[in-house]
Amino acid sequence: MSITTVNTTPFPGQRPGTSGLRKKVAVFQQAGYLENFVQSVFDTLGDCGGKTLVLGGDGRFHNRVAVQTILRMAAAHGFARVLVGQGGILSTPAVSCVIRKHGALGGIVLSASHNPGGPDGDFGIKYNIANGGPAPENVTEAIFQRTETIAHYRISDAADIDVNRLGPTRIEQTEVTVIDPVADYAALMERLFDFDAIRQLFAGGFRMCFDGMHAVSGPYAKAIIEGQLGAPAGTVINAVPLEDFGGHHPDPNPVNAAQLIEIMAADNAPDFGAASDGDGDRNMILGRKFDVTPSDSLAVLAAHATLAPGYRAGLKGIARSMPTSRAADRVAEALGIPCFETPTGWKFFGNLLDAGMATLCGEESYGTGSDHIREKDGLWAVLFWLNLLAVTGKSVEQLVSEHWKRFGRNYYSRHDYEAVETEAANELMASLRIKLATLKGQDLGHHVVALADDFDYTDPVDGAVASRQGIRIVMTNGSRVVFRLSGTGTEGATLRVYLERYEPDPAFHQLPTQQALYPLALIAEQVAGIADWTGRAHPTVTT
């Protein structure tokens, strides 16, 4: 074995987005493309000698090839130890867990999350820092700047190692240890939740369906839900991670998790349904013929948090992304704790969690988590719900309906316009920004505008400022329309339009969601001219 220095030239466009660098597989397969980005990460970190790195991904196509490349580069940069998940597999929450437990310098996550996989699909890479969370913007910007000037990368010429075999081996002077991807994470979950109560729930005939979507959370759910908690075999479906996710889109929403939706809508449906996404950090929660919005899920968990052993001491605060509904705000007010409104992107929660200012966090795109790690965590949310169901003896629908009766209902929906021509999407947002100054006080379809702005955020911990994080139009009655361009796609732009209406009267809590929000959808079209800019009469996906 020897370490070589390879001359290279920069690739354009290696700026990490909301959740790292995401491109088509074919882009990552270009000679030197992955190496350039990884070298830029290591250059930004500085001296890696004697440090520990965590490495793993969601098992999508190109994952195994990328793992071997990164192992050889880590060895060339003097890491003392690399912990890699067996088979190259580690869910994003598990990466955060392992970083924190083993005191690693950080970790590399190989995933494009909920984006499609396979040879023609997407691939992604991101760096998580020592607290286990996604690198903050100052780090990702430094990585990007390095990609613009990179002239060489360093790599060992060692042969591939067997990542299927547990235990240590060596590349150069680096110890590479293949670890059980589930063990550390499962141990953490057992400390947080009442596993005995959940075992009794299943022993009493409670039925559940968890859809692993042929993604990374399948093995975790099998090991914990069926293995440790005693759910019957077959409770977890689509449990084996596949490089193309079985040809499906691994995004846990009512459109892409159609099989689970059908199961839970049947007359003989299980009591509880759940799904997670490509890298295991998102969740969808379902009752029998009843679905729970991510915003309501966060609020319900917060309202009942002390029923779980890991949260018996109560919550220090709640944090939510700006587009997420205000349901959690009402819980925070009742508990007498702060509720922080941040930009979209889990990295913005990191400082609040590290400073002990927040305990639970959530974002509208099916992401929920807490201070147990520094990532959103799909299976954690599912186990939290199981804990509540076991302790209260109530159904999912009962818990949510009682929550609405106490706090009011925040009708909420997200309309996604995917793969919109990028220039048109940017022009739509630019035209909205021009209108902001004139919107306040306007009467829009029986709604009067109280606030219209482009959301800016100042971090209460370190004072960092994030600007232009989404356009908000807030009505005097609390209803909202929010416009945002997503940073997680790889083709064109995704325009996200968020609609929210607060309804305090229980007599109006059973309206179909899209019916309740239809007047706000009309306002969104009226103000933004979505059809004219995008050429779309309807959203691609409505959740």
pLDDT tens, residue by residue, 398-425: 999 999 999 999 999 999 998 899 999 9
| Average pLDDT estimate for 236-264 | 93
Measured distance CA(486)–CA(495) in Å, rounded:
6
Q: Confidence class of residue 543 from pLDDT cuts 50, 70 and 90? A: confident
User: Worst-scoring range by mean pLDDT, 151-155, 221-225, 476-480?
Assistant: 476-480
Nearest to 160, CA basis, from 249, 103, 75, 37: 75
* Contact assessment for residue 210 and residue 236, using Cβ atoms and an 8 Å cutoff: yes
Domains of the chain with bracketed CATH: 3-180 (3.40.120.10), 185-407 (3.40.120.10), 409-542 (3.30.310.50)
| Helix orientation angle between 327-335 and 396-407, rounded to the nearest 10 degrees | 70
* Contact assessment for residue 224 and residue 379, using Cβ atoms and an 8 Å cutoff: yes
Q: Which of 113, 217, 295, 321 is catalytic?
A: 113
Measured distance CA(133)–CA(263) in Å, rounded:
35
Measured distance CA(285)–CA(63) in Å, rounded:
28
* Confidence (pLDDT) at 486: 83
Is 395 a residue of the active site? Answer: no
Task: Take residue 183 and report the two structure tokens written for it.
Answer: 């063990």
pTM of the model: 0.94
- SS3 readout for 301-339: HHHCHHHCHHHCCCCCCEEEECCCCCHHHHHHHHHCCCE
* Confidence (pLDDT) at 237: 97
Strands 208-211 and 272-276: parallel
Query: Which helix (H) or strand (E) segment is 144 a member of?
Result: helix 137-147
**At residue 210, does pLDDT exceed 70?**
yes
| Percent of all residues in the chain with a pLDDT value above 70, rounded to a whole number | 99
Task: Take residue 500 and report the two structure tokens written for it.
Answer: 């929210």
**At residue 274, does pLDDT exceed 70?**
yes
Cα 66 to chain centroid, rounded: 22
**At residue 201, does pLDDT exceed 70?**
yes
**At residue 19, does pLDDT exceed 80?**
no
Going by C-beta distance under 8 Å and a sequence separation of 6 or more, which residues neighbour residue 330?
299, 407, 408
Beta bridge pairs of residue 197:
none
Q: Confidence class of residue 249 from pLDDT cuts 50, 70 and 90? A: confident
How many alpha carbons fall within 13 Å on the CB side of residue 533?
Answer: 25
For residue 6, CA distances in Å to 31, 298, 508 come to: 11, 48, 66
* Confidence (pLDDT) at 255: 84
Q: Residue 118 gets which letter from DSSP?
A: S
Strands 236-237 and 208-211: parallel
Q: Confidence class of residue 298 from pLDDT cuts 50, 70 and 90? A: very high
Q: Confidence class of residue 316 from pLDDT cuts 50, 70 and 90? A: very high
Q: Is 269 helix (H, G, I), strand (E, B) or coil?
A: coil
User: Which comes out higher in pLDDT, residue 120 or 255?
Assistant: 120
Span 353-388, pLDDT tens digits: 999 999 999 998 899 999 999 999 999 999 999 999
Q: Residue 402 gets which letter from DSSP?
A: H
**At residue 18, does pLDDT exceed 80?**
no
Span 48-88, pLDDT tens digits: 999 999 999 999 999 999 999 999 999 999 999 999 999 99
Q: Confidence class of residue 489 from pLDDT cuts 50, 70 and 90? A: low
Phi-psi category of residue 230: left, alpha or beta, with phi > 0 → left and psi -120 to 50 → alpha: left
For residue 317, CA distances in Å to 113, 311, 323, 371 come to: 27, 12, 18, 11
Task: Take residue 461 and report the two structure tokens written for it.
Answer: 């911990």
Q: How far apart are the first and last CA of the chain?
A: 52
Q: Residue 378 gets which letter from DSSP?
A: H
**At residue 219, does pLDDT exceed 80?**
yes
| Helix orientation angle between 294-303 and 378-392, rounded to the nearest 10 degrees | 50
What is the chain's mean pLDDT, rounded? 95
